[in-house]
A and B are shown apart, each in its own frame.
Chain A
Amino acid sequence: MDSKVAERGALENEKETPQEQEQEQVVNPWEVAAKDGGKIDYDKLIDKFGCQRLDPSLIDRVERLTSRRAHVFLRRGVFFAHRDFNEILDAYERGEKFYLYTGRGPSSEALHLGHLIPFMFTQYLQEAFKVPLVIQLTDDEKFLWKNLTVEESRRLARENAKDIIACGFDIRRTFIFSDFDYVGGAFYRNMVEISKRVTCNQVVGIFGFIGEDHIGKYSFPPVQAAPSFPSSFPHLFSGKDNLRCLIPCAIDQDPYFRMTRDVAPRIGYHKPALIESLFFPALQGETGKMSASDPNSAIYVTDSEKVIKNKINKYAFSGGQDSIEKHRQLGANLEVDIPIKYLSFFLEDDAELEHTKKEYGSGRMLTGEVKQRLIEVLTKLVERHRRARAAVTDELVDAFMAVRPLPNMFN
Chain B
Amino acid sequence: MGFSKEQFLARLQELQIEFSQYEHPVVMTVEDQAKHVGNSEGGLSKNLFLKDKKNRFYIVSALADTKVDLKVLSQRLGLGKGGLRMAPEEALGEVLQVPLGSVTPFALVNDSARNVSLLLDQGLKGQERCLFHPLSNDMTISLNVCELDKFLRSIGRDSSYVDLEANPPVGKDNPPDLAALVPSDSIVLPDLPEKAASLQAPPKAHVVSNKKSTEITAKATEPSRKVKNVKDKPVNSVQPSSSFKDVGQFVEEILDKTSALLLSEITEETINQHGQQLGVVVSNCIRERLASELKTDTTLYMQTAYTEGFHVARKMFQSTDTGNQFRCL
* A interface residues (Cβ-Cβ under 8 A, vs B): 109, 147, 149, 152, 159, 165, 168, 170-172, 302, 304, 306-307, 384, 386-391, 393-396, 398-399, 402, 404
* CA A390 to CA B235, docked complex, whole Å: 7
* CA A395 to CA B234, docked complex, whole Å: 8
Partner of A387, one of B184, B188, B194, B314: B188
Partner of B235, one of A384, A393, A402: A393
Contacting pair B239 A391 (CB below 8 A): yes
Contacting pair B235 A391 (CB below 8 A): yes
Count how many pairs of residues, one from A and one from B, have CB atoms less than 8 Å apart in the complex. Answer: 76
In order of increasing CB-CB distance, the 3 nearest A-B pairs are: A393-B234, A390-B188, A399-B307
* CA A386 to CA B173, docked complex, whole Å: 32
Contacting pair A384 B292 (CB below 8 A): yes
Could you say which residues of chain A place their CB within 8 Å of the CB of B311? Answer: 395, 398-399
Could you say which residues of chain B place their CB within 8 Å of the CB of A387? Answer: 188, 239, 296
* CA A20 to CA B59, docked complex, whole Å: 58
B292 nearest CB neighbor, chain A only: A384
Query: What per-residue 1/0 map shows which CB atoms of B287-315 lie under 8 Å from chain A?
Result: 00000110110011011101100110010
Partner of B244, one of A168, A306, A391: A391
Contacting pair B304 A396 (CB below 8 A): yes
Quick one: which of B175, B186, B194, B307 has the most chain A CB within 10 A?
Answer: B307
Q: Does B67 contact A (CB under 8 A)?
A: no
Contacting pair A395 B53 (CB below 8 A): no
Contacting pair B188 A168 (CB below 8 A): no
A310 nearest CB neighbor, chain B only: B194
* CA A404 to CA B172, docked complex, whole Å: 38
Quick one: which of A398, A399, A402 has the most chain B CB within 10 A?
Answer: A399
A300 CB to closest chain B CB, in angstroms? 9
Cross-chain pairs A/B with CB under 8 angstroms, 9 sampled: A159-B184, A171-B303, A302-B53, A390-B187, A391-B241, A393-B235, A395-B230, A396-B304, A398-B310
* CA A307 to CA B194, docked complex, whole Å: 9
Query: What per-residue 1/0 map shows which CB atoms of B36-66 lie under 8 Å from chain A?
Result: 0000000000000000011100000000000
Contacting pair B310 A399 (CB below 8 A): yes
Contacting pair A388 B234 (CB below 8 A): no
Partner of A302, one of B54, B234, B244, B292: B54
Contacting pair A171 B302 (CB below 8 A): yes
Partner of A402, one of B54, B187, B299, B310: B310
A319 CB to closest chain B CB, in angstroms? 29
The number of chain B residues with a CB under 8 A from chain A is: 35
Query: What per-residue 1/0 map shows which CB atoms of B197-231 lie under 8 Å from chain A?
Result: 00000000000000000000000000000001010
Contacting pair B234 A391 (CB below 8 A): yes
Contacting pair B192 A394 (CB below 8 A): no
Could you say which residues of chain A place their CB within 8 Å of the CB of B314? Answer: 402
Could you say which residues of chain B place their CB within 8 Å of the CB of A159? Answer: 184
Partner of B307, one of A109, A168, A395: A395
B131 CB to closest chain A CB, in angstroms? 36
Contacting pair B241 A399 (CB below 8 A): no
Partner of A304, one of B192, B239, B300: B192
Query: What per-residue 1/0 map shows which CB atoms of B229-258 lie under 8 Å from chain A?
Result: 010001101010100100000000000000
Contacting pair B296 A384 (CB below 8 A): yes
Could you say which residues of chain A place their CB within 8 Å of the CB of B175? Answer: 149, 152
A109 nearest CB neighbor, chain B only: B54
Could you say which residues of chain B place their CB within 8 Å of the CB of A304? Answer: 192, 194
Q: A391-B300, A393-B235 are in contact. Are A386 and B306 (CB under 8 A)?
A: no
Given contacts A390-B188, A390-B241, A393-B234, 6 further A-B contacts (CB under 8 A): A109-B54, A302-B55, A390-B55, A391-B235, A391-B244, A394-B184
Could you say which residues of chain B place their CB within 8 Å of the CB of A152? Answer: 175
Could you say which residues of chain A place their CB within 8 Å of the CB of B296? Answer: 168, 384, 387-388
* CA A340 to CA B49, docked complex, whole Å: 41
* CA A306 to CA B53, docked complex, whole Å: 13
Q: A390-B239, A391-B239, A395-B234 are in contact. Are A168 and B192 (CB under 8 A)?
A: no
Could you say which residues of chain B place their CB within 8 Å of the CB of A399? Answer: 303, 306-307, 310-311
Contacting pair A390 B302 (CB below 8 A): no
Q: A307-B194, A393-B235 are in contact. Are A171 and B307 (CB under 8 A)?
A: yes
Contacting pair B306 A388 (CB below 8 A): no
* CA A62 to CA B192, docked complex, whole Å: 41
* CA A251 to CA B295, docked complex, whole Å: 30
Partner of B237, one of A384, A390, A394, A395: A390
Contacting pair A384 B300 (CB below 8 A): no
A383 nearest CB neighbor, chain B only: B293
* CA A165 to CA B296, docked complex, whole Å: 11
Contacting pair B300 A172 (CB below 8 A): no
Could you say which residues of chain B place their CB within 8 Å of the CB of A147? Answer: 172-173
A146 nearest CB neighbor, chain B only: B172
B245 CB to closest chain A CB, in angstroms? 11
Could you say which residues of chain B place their CB within 8 Å of the CB of A171? Answer: 302-303, 306-307
A110 nearest CB neighbor, chain B only: B54
* CA A321 to CA B239, docked complex, whole Å: 43
* CA A394 to CA B233, docked complex, whole Å: 11
B104 CB to closest chain A CB, in angstroms? 26
B301 nearest CB neighbor, chain A only: A391
Could you say which residues of chain B place their CB within 8 Å of the CB of A165? Answer: 303
A146 CB to closest chain B CB, in angstroms? 10
B313 nearest CB neighbor, chain A only: A404
B130 CB to closest chain A CB, in angstroms? 33
Query: What per-residue 1/0 map shows which CB atoms of B171-201 lie under 8 Å from chain A?
Result: 0110100000000111110001010000000
* CA A147 to CA B172, docked complex, whole Å: 7
Contacting pair B299 A168 (CB below 8 A): yes
Could you say which residues of chain B place their CB within 8 Å of the CB of A393? Answer: 185, 234-235, 241, 307
* CA A152 to CA B78, docked complex, whole Å: 12
A88 CB to closest chain B CB, in angstroms? 25
